[in-house]
């Protein structure tokens, strides 16, 4: 697996799993009906923020993607954030972990002092466990902050990791 900068030309390969994940409405606080163009605007960030893709070194297939960005402005500019999506067809290969580690290293090198996730759906146990294994802690939970399509109202975690 190779992690490299995402380009607009990667979007057609990202879109199928991005769309499936967003439309399912289980893990992201994105509008569920984002179309192809809107989705690109939400996901492909511009400098100094970044978006990368994890690709299969043999086939070039896009396996997952991460975006990383400044989370607060002004005197909160030392806090970064990031988001991850992995193609469900390629889950279980450590792609999410590799992407998360990549963004933590980026944030540290870019001079950020901490990383914050603003809205981790509490029922997304896989993600919460992964982030905790990478040193993040839940610093607070917005009660009933997310309306899960099958589980009803669940919490939205704010997670934090010093760098």
Q: How far apart are CA 16 and CA 158, in angstroms?
A: 28
> What track of x and - describes contact with a copy of itself for positions 118 through 157 (by CB under 8 A)?
xx------------------xxxxxxxxxxxx------x-
Q: How far apart are CA 23 and CA 150, in angstroms?
A: 14
- Residues 134, 100: contact at Cβ < 8 Å? yes
Q: How far is the CB of 146 from a copy of itself (least distance, A)?
A: 5
Q: Is 4 in the site for a copy of itself (CB under 8 A)?
A: no
How far, CA to CA in Å, does 102 sit from each of 2, 44, 67, 145? 11, 16, 10, 28
Q: How far apart are CA 155 and CA 13, in angstroms?
A: 32
| Choice from 51, 65, 81, 116 touching a copy of itself (CB under 8 A) | 116
Nearest to a copy of itself of 88, 140 (CB atom): 140
Q: Which of residues 85-104 bind a copy of itself (CB under 8 A)?
A: none
Contact footprint for a copy of itself (CB under 8 A): 22, 25, 28-32, 72-79, 113-114, 116, 118-119, 138-149, 156, 158, 160, 162
């Amino acid at each position: 697996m190779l992690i490299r900068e995402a380009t607009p030309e990667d979007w057609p390969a990202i879109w199928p799993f991005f769309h499936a994940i967003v439309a399912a409405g289980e893990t992201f606080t994105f509008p569920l009906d984002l179309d192809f163009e809107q989705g690109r605007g939400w996901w492909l960030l511009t400098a100094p923020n970044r978006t990368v893709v994890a690709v299969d070194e043999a086939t070039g297939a896009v396996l997952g993607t991460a975006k990383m960005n400044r989370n607060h402005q002004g005197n909160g500019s030392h806090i970064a954030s990031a988001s991850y999506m992995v193609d469900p067809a390629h889950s279980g290969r450590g792609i999410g972990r590799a992407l998360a580690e990549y963004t933590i290293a980026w944030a540290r090198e870019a001079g950020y002092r901490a990383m914050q996730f603003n809205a981790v759906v509490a029922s997304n146990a896989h993600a919460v466990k992964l982030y905790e294994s990478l040193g993040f802690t839940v610093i607070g939970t917005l009660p009933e902050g997310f309306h899960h399509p099958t589980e009803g109202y669940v919490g939205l975690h704010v997670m934090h990791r010093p760098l």
